[in-house]
Amino acid sequence: MAPLKDVDGYLARIGLPALRSLAEVHRAHATSIAFENFDPATGTAVTLDQDRLEEKLVARGRGGYCFEQNLLLASALEALGVTEIAPMLARVRLGPEGTPRPLNHLLLRVVDGDATWLADVGFGGGGLLDPVPFEVGVESDQSGWRYRLVEDGAEVVLQVFQDGGWTDMYGFVPEPVRPVDIEVNNWYTATHPESPFVTGLMIGVRRADRCLSMFINEQAVLVERPVGGSSSITEVALDEVTALLHSRFDMAGVVRLPDGRFAVET
C-alpha cells in the first residue's frame, strides 16, 4: 500500500487530531469505522484499489470488511512512517467445529521500532481494540478485554478470553502474502454464491466497553457483549433494523430494498 492521500479526511473519520502512534491509530480506527458487508450482500463488487478504499471508507463514511479495513489501516501506517507491514491471510475458527474454512480474513504484521505487532481492525464487533504483541503466549489486556497468540501446528491462533475460557478467533501461517493472493481471496469472499458475505449481512461496531454485532439472513439477530460479561442475543424485527443500525451502530442511510435486502444509500 502507498501512504494515505487524504490524511486529514482519515483523521477526521477516526476522530484524531494527528497521526501519532500505531496504538492510537489502531484503536481510533477500530472504534470509528464499522464492519459491514452491504456491498457483496447486494451484488456490488468490492474493489481494493486505494482510491476506492479512501473514497468509500473515508469520504463517504461507509464501513467495510477485513480486506478493506486493514488495507486502509496499512496505508495510514505508511503515512505515519511505518514501513514494515506484512499482510497475512487467516482462517476464521468461530462457529461449528470441523467445517472447512477458506482463507478469507486479512490481518497485518507490523514492525514498529523494536517491537512486532499483530494489527487487525477488520474482524467486526468482537475484534481487537489495540495491536497485540506478535509473540506466542503473551497476553494483551485491552481495557479489560484479553487476547493472546498460541501455536497450533503450523498455525498461529489469535484467542480471546470470554465466558471463563480462551476461544479461538482465527488461525494463520505467519508468512506474508502477495497482493494477487489478497485479490483472489477478496474476490471469493465478495462474489462466491456460498460465501457468508454474499448470502447474509454482518454488521459490527467496537467500543472500549462493549462489542455489538448484527447478523441478518431470513431473520435479524443482535449480539451484544459488555467487557467482562456474557453475550446477550436478541431477535430484531426486520422492520426495526434500519432504526437500530442508526441508533446503536451509528450507521445512517441504511434502507430496505423492494426485494427485502438491506443496502446503504450514499
Q: Which listed residue (66, 112, 130, 211) is catalytic?
A: 66
Annotated active-site residue 211? The verdict is: no
Please state the three-class secondary structure of 149-214 as a single string.
EEEECCEEEEEEEECCEEEEEEEECCCCCCHHHHHHHHHHHHHCCCCHHHHCEEEEEECCCEEEEE
What is the distance between the alpha carbons of residues 257 and 118, in angstroms, rounded to a whole number? 38
Q: How crowded is residue 84: how many other Cβ atoms within 10 Å of its Cβ?
A: 10
Annotated active-site residue 39? The verdict is: no
Longest dimension (CA), the chain: 54
What are the phi and psi torsion angles at 251 (to 5°)? -110, 110
What are the phi and psi torsion angles at 41 (to 5°)? -70, -20
Q: Which listed residue (105, 112, 130, 211) is catalytic?
A: 105
Q: List the grid coordinates of 118.
A: 499483530
Q: Which listed residue (26, 29, 39, 120) is catalytic?
A: 120
Annotated active-site residue 130? The verdict is: no
Query: Annotated catalytic sites, by residue?
Result: 66, 105, 120
